[in-house]
Amino acid sequence: MWYCLPTHRVLGGRVERRARCVELLAESWQYILDNQDRFGEAVVVHLRLSIIALLAAIAIFFPIGVLASRSGRAGAALIGVVSAARVVPSLAVLFLLLPFFGLGERPALIALTLLAGPALVINTDAGLRNVDPVALESARGLGMNAFQVFTRVQLPLAVPVVIAGIRTASVEVIGSATLAAFIGAGGLGTFITSGLTLLDERLLLVGAIPVTLLTLGAESALGGLERRLTPPDAA
């Protein structure tokens, strides 16, 4: 990959390096064409890991975020703990779980679900807390009960921030799913691990580029959703 970096170009041999870079990409592409089954399966596994982990995380951590936003001090304390937990690196989470859950897809899913947690809890809590209290008071004043105030006013107004949390979490999950290969869960990370072992740059790119594209795709899709669900500002 480093052959593509522009700084290397000024060192001379510009033409060869650029040629090598193109060659490498072509070789990676050829590898994909030659191993369509393996590649296809890796993409499917990668997406399956990411999507299941993300959905599980939303199911678990969105409610926790809601509870945090509704319970003054305890909520604030919880958010502190969750923020602190965020600094634990993905790889560490993966290996910490190893003694308990062994190798394979299950521990990978658990780890990825946990990794998505902080972004979801923090954003859900912040989104709900920061809804304009005037809107909430007028909702109550007009005769909405507590459930209606939450579902019709507070949650819809917090949704953009919640989606931003899902976006952050999805980037984290799709990226970290690469590491799942280290504990034998498969996915696009397998190409990277074999590339590293075999010192085969071609394989590294077969893993890395699709992961990057998936991440960017998820990011922009959720970004679009976020914009669509944000109430319009002054036109």
Give me the residues that bind other proteins (CB under 8 A), please. Answer: 132, 134-135, 137-145, 148, 153, 156-157, 231-235
Question: With 0-12 CB in 10 A as exposed, 13-18 as middle and 19+ as buried, what is 5?
Answer: exposed
**Alpha-carbon span 211 to 163, nearest angstrom:** 21
**Alpha carbon distance 98, 183 (integer Å):** 8
* Minimal distance, residue 223 CB to other proteins, in Å: 19
Residue closest to 68 by CA, chosen among 56, 50, 81: 81
Cα–Cα distance, 67 to 65 (Å, whole number) = 5
Q: What is the spatial distance between Cα 235 and Cα 232, in angstroms, rounded to a whole number?
A: 8
Q: Which is nearer to other proteins, 153 or 192 (CB)?
A: 153
Residue 49 vs 157, nearer CB to other proteins: 157
Q: Is 47 helix (H, G, I), strand (E, B) or coil?
A: helix
Closest distance of CB 143 from other proteins, Å: 3
Considering the complex, state which of residue 36 and residue 145 has its C-beta at the smaller distance from other proteins: 145
CB 124 within 8 A of CB 183: no
What minimum distance in Å lies between the beta carbon of 160 and other proteins?
Answer: 10
Nearest CB to other proteins, comparing residues 153 and 204: 153
Contact between 188 and 46 under an 8 Å Cβ cutoff? The reply is yes
For residue 235, the minimal CB distance to other proteins (Å) is: 5
Cβ proximity to other proteins: between 60 and 155 the closer is: 155
Shortest gap between Cβ of 162 and other proteins (angstroms)? 14
